[in-house]
């Protein structure tokens, strides 16, 4: 595809939305991956008549075609760009030698679970929420959680035997009100786990259920004339209601999954495809299908998955779709999300 064809046939179709773009050379190799707040404006700038950088001129000279993926936020674009650069290591990208990874918030699999920030995802049964494109956002979420719920931060082994034997004494965190002292049997495991359940809701974006829980708790304290406790819950409610998380949370337990969406027109259909591994989007694709008859979306998706998926996602047997398809050999585990 010539640059004139790209200007006439592609640039006008780019959306004014955040996203990631990929440039390919004539051999089909990815030579550059970039992110943009506005895809149309950013990509069009490469094909303007005046380019100051000699490197950029050389890059543009080698562009044969381009692909793009639209995302919801700039943070999502940053995450996807990072993943694609690591995957393809394009010739004209500055590769990160330190193999930077983004942070997650972890709920540790243990008795009286700790909640903390980490860049290492371990397959030990713990729960991980993220990744967060901006570490400041992750710290903000974690600080909110610690203000709302008094959790332990120590790494003591709080087994039932150790607590019964009174092996531990409360530390300074308990005296300043940051921990309720489960190590000294001052908080039950059931009560601690109620807080962990509410924290899961927050990290999954389900803030309304936590607000409902706190309102009920505040009402109970008020009915018992425990006005100081009710006021403390009211302050937590205000903090939670003012909190707005703008980061897209991805669960790293989503592993080897293909996600599909079909948009139908009279003569064509477009399959949007995402490949997810370890909670990160590692591949995106939009495939155009020319319709011969009045095929249904189910028939089109079955056709594409059975023919093209052999080369694009042959190692992925779990899929998400908005409708069910009858896959011939039974190897596809399909989850229908409506």
The 3-state DSSP class for residue 40 equals helix
Burial (Cβ within 10 Å: 0-12, 13-18, ≥19) of residue 130: buried
Q: Is residue 200 part of a domain?
A: yes
Q: Look at residue 319 and tell me whether its pLDDT is greater than 80.
A: no
38-42 mean pLDDT = 91
Asked whether 158 and 164 are in contact (CB, 8 A), the reply is no
Same domain, 270 and 294: yes
Q: Which helix (H) or strand (E) holds 229?
A: helix 227-242
Looking at per-residue pLDDT, the higher value among 28 and 94 belongs to 28
CA pair distance 21, 102, nearest whole angstrom: 21
Q: Residue 230 CB: number of other CB atoms within 10 A?
A: 17
**Which residue in 237, 242, 272, 279 sits closest to 257, CA to CA?**
279
CA pair distance 319, 332, nearest whole angstrom: 7
Alpha helices in 89-188 (DSSP H): 135-148, 160-164, 172-175
CA pair distance 8, 161, nearest whole angstrom: 73
Looking at per-residue pLDDT, the higher value among 285 and 223 belongs to 223
Same domain, 23 and 112: no
Give the pLDDT score at 310.
Answer: 44
Asked whether 300 and 260 are in contact (CB, 8 A), the reply is no
Asked whether 132 and 100 are in contact (CB, 8 A), the reply is no
Beta bridge mates, 277: 280
Q: Look at residue 1 and tell me whether its pLDDT is greater than 80.
A: no
Which among 88, 116, 136 is the end of a domain? 88
Which among 61, 88, 115 is the end of a domain? 88
Give the pLDDT score at 280.
Answer: 57
Same domain, 108 and 232: yes
Same domain, 231 and 266: no
Q: Is residue 99 part of a domain?
A: no
Q: Is residue 215 part of a domain?
A: yes
Q: Is residue 205 part of a domain?
A: yes
CA pair distance 253, 264, nearest whole angstrom: 31
303-318 mean pLDDT = 51
Q: What is the pTM of this model?
A: 0.50
Same domain, 206 and 178: yes
- Biggest CA–CA distance in the chain, Å, is 79
Same domain, 203 and 135: yes
Asked whether 66 and 21 are in contact (CB, 8 A), the reply is yes
Q: Is residue 251 part of a domain?
A: no
CA pair distance 333, 320, nearest whole angstrom: 9
- Residue holding tokens 């600080």? 143
Same domain, 16 and 121: no
Q: Is residue 303 part of a domain?
A: yes
Q: Look at residue 315 and tell me whether its pLDDT is greater than 50.
A: no
Tell me what the pLDDT averaged over the chain comes to.
78
- Contact partners, residue 152, CB within 8 Å, separation at least 6: 112, 114, 158, 173, 179, 182, 183
**Which residue in 252, 273, 251 sits closest to 263, CA to CA?**
273
Q: Is residue 93 part of a domain?
A: no
Same domain, 140 and 179: yes
Q: Look at residue 78 and tell me whether its pLDDT is greater than 80.
A: no
Which among 199, 218, 242 is the end of a domain? 242
pLDDT band at 100 (very low <50, low <70, confident <90, very high): low
Same domain, 163 and 127: yes
Asked whether 320 and 338 are in contact (CB, 8 A), the reply is no
CA angle, 304 then 28 then 35, to 5°: 90
215-250 per-position pLDDT tens digit? 888 999 899 998 898 998 888 888 777 664 333 445
pLDDT band at 296 (very low <50, low <70, confident <90, very high): confident
Same domain, 72 and 194: no
Domain count, the chain: 3
97-121 mean pLDDT = 83
**Which residue in 52, 59, 69 sits closest to 94, CA to CA?**
59
120 lies in which domain range? 104-242
CA pair distance 73, 58, nearest whole angstrom: 30
Q: Is residue 248 part of a domain?
A: no
């Amino acid at each position: 595809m010539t640059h004139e064809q790209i200007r006439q046939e592609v640039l006008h179709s780019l959306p004014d939305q955040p996203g990631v773009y990929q440039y390919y050379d004539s051999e089909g190799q990815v030579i550059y991956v970039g992110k943009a707040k506005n895809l149309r404006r950013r990509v069009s700038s490469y094909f303007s008549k005046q380019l100051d950088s000699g490197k950029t001129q050389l890059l543009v000279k080698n562009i044969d075609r381009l692909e793009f993926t639209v995302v919801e936020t700039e943070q999502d674009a940053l995450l996807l760009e990072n993943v694609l650069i690591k995957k393809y290591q394009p010739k004209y990208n500055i590769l990160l030698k330190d193999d930077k990874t983004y942070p997650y918030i972890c709920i540790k699999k243990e008795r009286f679970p700790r909640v903390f920030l980490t860049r290492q995802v371990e397959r030990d049964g713990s729960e991980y929420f993220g990744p967060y494109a901006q570490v400041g956002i992750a710290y903000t979420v974690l600080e909110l959680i610690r203000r709302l719920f008094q959790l332990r931060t120590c790494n003591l082994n709080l087994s039932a035997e150790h607590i019964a034997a009174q092996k531990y004494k409360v530390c300074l965190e308990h005296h300043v009100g940051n921990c309720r002292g489960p190590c000294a049997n001052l908080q039950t495991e059931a009560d601690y786990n109620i807080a962990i359940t509410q924290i899961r809701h927050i990290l999954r974006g389900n803030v309304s259920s936590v607000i409902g829980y706190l309102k009920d708790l505040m009402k109970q304290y008020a009915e018992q004339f425990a006005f100081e406790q009710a006021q403390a819950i009211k302050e937590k409610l205000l903090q939670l209601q003012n909190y707005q998380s703008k980061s897209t949370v991805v669960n790293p337990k989503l592993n080897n999954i293909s996600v599909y969406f079909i948009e139908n027109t009279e003569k064509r259909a477009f399959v949007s495809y995402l490949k997810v591994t370890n909670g990160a989007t590692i591949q995106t694709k939009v495939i155009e299908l020319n319709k011969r008859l009045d095929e249904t979306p189910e028939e089109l998706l079955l056709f594409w998955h059975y023919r093209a998926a052999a080369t694009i996602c042959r190692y992925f047997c779990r899929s998400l779709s908005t409708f069910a398809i009858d896959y011939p050999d039974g190897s596809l585990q399909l989850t229908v999300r409506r």
